[in-house]
Chains A and B, each alone.
Chain A
Amino acid sequence: MHEEITRMLFGVIDELNQLRPAEEHLEKNLATPLAGDSGRLDSAGLINLIVVTEQKTAEELGRPILLTDDRTMSQVKQVFGTLGTLADYIQLLLNEKRDG
């Protein structure tokens, strides 16, 4: 499952990079910082990432998730710290859905 999530997130990065100048392209790497003290995304960039990730999770993994609820917003630095922490969080949400 983690591999599928990672692949989906790399697709998200491809989509975001189309909107960003070449020198600001994000690397397709789980260590890539997103938001936080060493973050690379401004408000519009992070919002874009959240929206595209929600859409692609539903389309490619077949299960919708919500990344804008108060629970996620209370831990933005932890969830969106890097691409890897985001992948872990999506896996947690999907597992919670599966377990009901």
Chain B
Amino acid sequence: MEIKAFTVADLKTALLSEDFWHTKTLPITKHRALSYSHNPRADKDDPVLLVAYQDSQVIGYLGILPDNIFVNNTVYKFGWLTSWWVDPSCATTGVGTILLFKALNAYQQQLGVSGSSKEARKALDASQKFKALKTLKGLDISFRLNVTRAILRKLPRLEIFRVLFKIFDDMMDEVVNLRSFFWRRGNDICQRLSFEYLSSIDEETGQFIQRHHQHDLTRKGKADLNWMMMYPWILSAPLKDSAAKRYYFSSRSEKFYYLGVKVFEHNNEMVGFFMLKVRDDRMSVVYSYFESQHALSVTAAVVYHTLAMDVSALSLYDEQLAASFSELRCPCWSAKAVSREFSLSKALADIPLTNYRLHGGDGDLAFY
């Protein structure tokens, strides 16, 4: 078994190489490699991908996303663990363990984790190297009933009745549309808001973010959000291509895009900015910036967009947005409290973290 550590510079070279992409299992997709190699927080010598090879075939890999933690005027460099995979037939060969400890050693034991599979969580807990950060609480809101999907997922043999379920869903959607119509008409917040859409962060927004990110754990700025929007890990594509079939993690969805939304009050004052991620029929707010007194307006703007776009669910991972949602009394089928776990390695325990803010897109969560 051989473990190769690919730095940002190595990945740039790999993108131009034929051989790297010829293995039966891919350790990364080309668009994800492009993203890794353009990460504004990574240096060219940072290891960002560890790959385990046996007989020239990939049997495991682990990605690392370099990032910074900001406390007052001090910057702490670390990396988020991402896409940790081991070929199931090699599960007891120690390859997963080697990848984890090699990653920890490469980053002086300073790593973070944002969400993980059950197996990965078990292994990370066993290492006793990580300590939980505060839990990020949010809301998962269903705007469409989607009985078809719920029933067919549980009882696939009822596929023959799909048309009937679909008709029922369409009827229920019309009920929601009608309720939403009256909600929008009766809600004066929406009427006094206007928007500007961004496919990349402009100067005004960059400065707005800078004024509002002082308490953020990783203080994302213009360059970071532009990088995410420009180099997605998931492409909008109708079918699985050959890379998607050879890569374990998500690499394509029928619909995937980011949208930056500037929110203005009637007097043309910019009161908020949020970055939306739309994946198939689900929308998430991955980053949001606003003053507390404008939380209701920004939440209304988010909901307004959810209703205007053809999505069935909205994820809000921000306590102020989640609290404001209840205040808006917006029609929906359900609003479920959800949470996301983040942890940092104990080597970062000395950082004096108090009153910091996490976003729904922190770690690698903005990319999925």
Q: A-side interface residues toward B, CB under 8 Å?
A: 35-37, 39-48, 50-51, 68-70, 73-74, 76-77, 80
Contacts and interface: CB of A to CB of B under 8 A. Distances in A.
B353 interface: no
Contacts of A44: 119, 122-123, 125-126
B100 A47 contact: yes
Could you tell me the dominant secondary structure of chain B's interface residues? helix
Interface residues of B, number: 23
A70 B105 CA distance: 7
A55 B100 CA distance: 19
B100 A43 contact: yes
B93 A47 contact: no
A22 B105 CA distance: 34
22 contacts: A35-B93, A36-B93, A39-B93, A41-B92, A42-B92, A42-B96, A43-B94, A43-B119, A44-B122, A46-B96, A47-B97, A51-B128, A68-B101, A69-B105, A70-B105, A73-B102, A73-B105, A74-B3, A76-B93, A76-B97, A76-B98, A77-B93
A73 to B, nearest CB: 5
A48 B91 CA distance: 15
B128 A80 contact: no
Given A68-B105, A69-B105, A35 B94 contact: yes
Interface string B44-79: 000000000000000000000000000000000000
Contacts of B94: 35-36, 39, 41, 43, 46, 76-77, 80
B234 interface: no
B100 A77 contact: no
A42 B91 contact: yes
A74 B102 CA distance: 9
Interface string B103-136: 0110000000000000100110111100000000
